Amino acid sequence: MNRVVTNAQRKKLTQQNENRARMLISCPDQPGIVAAVSRFLHEHGANIVQSDQYTMDPAGGMFFIRIEFDLNDLERRLEPLEVDFQEVVAEKFQMNWSIHCASRKKRLAIFVSKEDHCLLELLWQWQAGDLDAEIAMVISNHPDMRELVESFDIPYHHIPVTADTKPEAERKQLEVIGDQADTIVLARYMQILSPVFIEQYPNRVINIHHSFLPAFVGGKPYAQAYERGVKIIGATAHYVTEELDGGPIIEQDVQRVSHRDDVESLKRIGRHIERIVLARAVSWHVEDRILVHQNKTVVFN
């Protein structure tokens, strides 16, 4: 399959970004945080090119900031900078913080079952250069998409899952992931991951599911949505926590429907929203645009 972004082009993009870093900080709000951080970066020769800041509830609330900065010779200077930052700034303000090199792309392990629309959108956007990540592998409990995935030169791991073999299957999944991927994307993966698995990737497992106003509980939500004659259907992408479908929401979107849409049509429209919403959420994650506090996200996009 021909690539829109050639390797040469990719390399050029990487070079442009090789001195670009993204810093995420959350901490209890108090006076002087921005001053301390920006002075630190300035004194270390970094040039802030973009920053977003948000304070949740000024009185006794939380402070969040995302800073993009350029620093010459980043690769070599990052580690001492991190050591310094912890000592000079972070400890004083009780910061929860991280710095990410733009050139070290996030590496995705995409989990999929039998529906391919979310996987295809991620592959398409990755191929077009719109998804700034590496796709390390695809893991599926079914063999169906091997040919598709391998045609993109991406490894495909078929790991069947049954009620009995689930713990064993998760062990295999963790084994093939190893240190090859840092982010798990559940692209319509129809198995529930165990808390043990999820704990390995805190705020790094992204799931997509359909959403309705009002919500419909039970096994056939599209049939219920049709029976009730909803006028809008949607999808929600969220980080996975132990509470099923209850983790921090990353992105949501909707589309209008009408009485003319039968159950099949609602499902088709639902698939289109799901792939768009999941792709947006994954993009923001890999560009380090998301901070999580308690059960909600702060998305700087």
By CB under 8 A, residue 92 contacts a copy of itself: no
Select which of 116, 164, 182, 245 is catalytic: 245
By CB under 8 A, residue 96 contacts a copy of itself: no
User: Any catalytic annotation for residue 84?
Assistant: no
99 to 138: interface string for a copy of itself, x by CB under 8 A: -----------------xx--x---x---x-x--------
215 to 234: interface string for a copy of itself, x by CB under 8 A: x----------xxxxxxx-x
Q: Report the residue from 49, 83, 174, 196 that binds a copy of itself according to the rule CB under 8 A.
A: 49
Residue numbers 7-46 binding a copy of itself by CB under 8 A = 29, 31-35, 38-39, 41-42, 45-46
Number of residues lying near a copy of itself (CB under 8 A): 77
Secondary structure of the chain in the HEC alphabet? CCCCCCHHHHHHHHHHHCCEEEEEEEEECCCCHHHHHHHHHHHCCCEEEEEEEEEECCCCCEEEEEEEEECCCHHHHHHHHHHHHHHHHHHHHCCEEEEEECCCCEEEEEEECCCCHHHHHHHHHHHCCCCCEEEEEEEECCCCCHHHHHCCCCCEEECCCCCCCHHHHHHHHHHHHCCCCCEEEECCCCCCCCHHHHHCCCCCEEEEEEEECCCCCCCCHHHHHHHHCCCEEEEEEEECCCCCCCCCEEEEEEEECCCCCCHHHHHHHHHHHHHHHHHHHHHHHHCCCEEEECCEEEECC
Q: Report the residue from 5, 17, 18, 54 that binds a copy of itself according to the rule CB under 8 A.
A: 54
By CB under 8 A, residue 190 contacts a copy of itself: no
Catalytic residue positions, numbered = 245
